[in-house]
Amino acid sequence: MTTIMDGKAVAAHLSEGIQDALEESHKHGIQPKVAFVRVGDLSDSISYERAAMKRFEKLSIETEQYHFPEDISARAFLTKFREINEDYSVNGILLLQPLPEHIDMKRVVELMNPMKDIDGMTPFNLGQVLTNEKNRLEPCTPAGVMEMLDFYDIDLKGKNVTVVGASAVVGKPLSLLFMNRDATVTTCNLYTDDLTAKCSNADVIVSAAGAMNLIRAEHVKEGAIVVDVGINFNDEGKMVGDVDYEGVKDKTSYITPVPGGVGAITTTVLAYHLMMATDYQKEPVLFLER
């Protein structure tokens, strides 16, 4: 029988750790604060920001929103971003993506203090993931996938893992996190030849492609673990993942639903990272100079 992995249970577990860290910070007179930085009004960014705000407020974490008009000049935005980045009262920054085309995302990310980078997008933090250094803030969706697997005590050493999707925010860093656990990883993209063959051999399949019904029964071997990161909306406007959940469920040993799976963890991981960031800022040398 399959185990349905419950994102809400994982988030609740993480929230306990956040509450403990929050109490510890308060004892030292520190009130951790996150800054949400958004340029323009893209609906995806707004809904992600709203979900994150809700989570932080529920955890009684201080938030500050910085919204800039779509037509703000690159120079003006960089000046404002520097100010937020250097503000000692801000412990973590969530930079909503994408930025308008005239603002160079790479330049902004390179400016960000890696110790405030709660969504693990700076070259420093991605480098720490690559080399498997201990002090780091990981991109929160891949980190959420690992939290889910850890919560269910899934040992990854020596496992064949197929990650479907190779973006810089999900698929690639996730593949590295699996490699850091001594898994054997196959990373697929839109041009991968014979996806069925790449998946049907896997002990663990993670789909982060954004393609409805991509992973079906023929992709899944008996007893495999299937994690669905994808978010899509079907003809009835219902949120679904990349996996044909009903079609594959009975073949799996563990599976995540959509909604209620990885998506239910991501914003809690952000809050957890804020606590880590606050901690690193107490002793920056430990984080940056190893």
Q: Which of 96, 103, 177, 209 binds ligand NAD (CB under 6 A)?
A: 209
- Name the packing angle between helices 7-27 and 140-151 (round to 10°): 110
Q: Is 188 in the site for ligand NAD (CB under 6 A)?
A: yes
CA 31 → CA 26, 139, 190, distances in Å? 6, 23, 44
Instruction: Determine if residue 194 is left, alpha or beta; phi over 0 gives left, psi from -120 to 50 gives alpha, anything else beta.
Output: left
60 labeled binding residue: no
Would you say 90 or 204 has its CB closer to ligand NAD?
A: 204
Give the separation between CA 152 and CA 121, rounded to whole angstroms.
27
Residue 123 tokens, joined:
């070259």
With CB under 6 A as the rule, give the number of residues binding ligand NAD. 25
- Going by C-alpha positions, the residue among 67, 66, 65, 70 that lies closest to residue 40 is 70
Q: Which of 86, 134, 91, 35 is nearest to 281 (CA)?
A: 91
Considering only 93, 99, 103, 164, the residue that binds ligand NAD (CB under 6 A) is: 164
What separation in angstroms does the CA of 252 have from each of 90, 106, 119, 157, 249?
43, 40, 30, 19, 6
The partner residues of 34 in beta bridges, in order of sequence, read 63, 92
Q: Which region, judged by CB under 6 A, interacts with ligand NAD, from 19-27, 114-122, 259-267, 279-287?
A: 259-267
Q: Rule CB under 6 A: say whether 169 interacts with ligand NAD.
A: yes
Q: Does 189 bind ligand NAD (CB under 6 A)?
A: yes
Map the footprint of ligand NAD across residues 121-160, applying CB under 6 A: 141
Q: How far is the CB of 230 from ligand NAD (least distance, A)?
A: 4
Q: Across the strands, what pairs with 64?
A: 35
Measured from the CB atom, is 266 or 278 closer to ligand NAD? 266
Residue 224 marked as a ligand binder: no
Query: Candidates 17-25, 81-89, 153-161, 262-270 — which segment interacts with ligand NAD by CB under 6 A?
Result: 262-270
260 interacts with ligand NAD by CB under 6 A: no
- For residue 249 the two structure tokens come to 């469920």
Examine residue 171 and tell whether it contacts ligand NAD (CB under 6 A).
yes
Is residue 200 at the binding interface for ligand NAD, with CB under 6 A as the rule? no
Count of all residues that appear for the chain in the document: 290
Instruction: Using alpha carbons, select from 16, 271, 287, 25 the residue that is nearest to residue 144.
Output: 271
Among residues 135, 184, 192, 213, the one that binds ligand NAD under rule CB under 6 A? 192
The residue within the footprint of ligand NAD, chosen from 39, 96, 137, 208 (CB under 6 A), is: 208
Q: Which two tokens stand for residue 34?
A: 């996150």
User: Among the candidate windows 64-72, 173-181, 185-193, 282-290, which touches ligand NAD by CB under 6 A?
Assistant: 185-193
Q: How many angstroms separate the Cα of 59 from the Cα of each of 19, 145, 217? A: 7, 21, 39
Catalog residues that contact ligand NAD under the rule CB under 6 A: 141, 164-167, 169-171, 188-190, 192, 195, 208-211, 214, 229-232, 262-263, 266
Residue positions forming the annotated binding site for NADP(+) = 165-167, 231
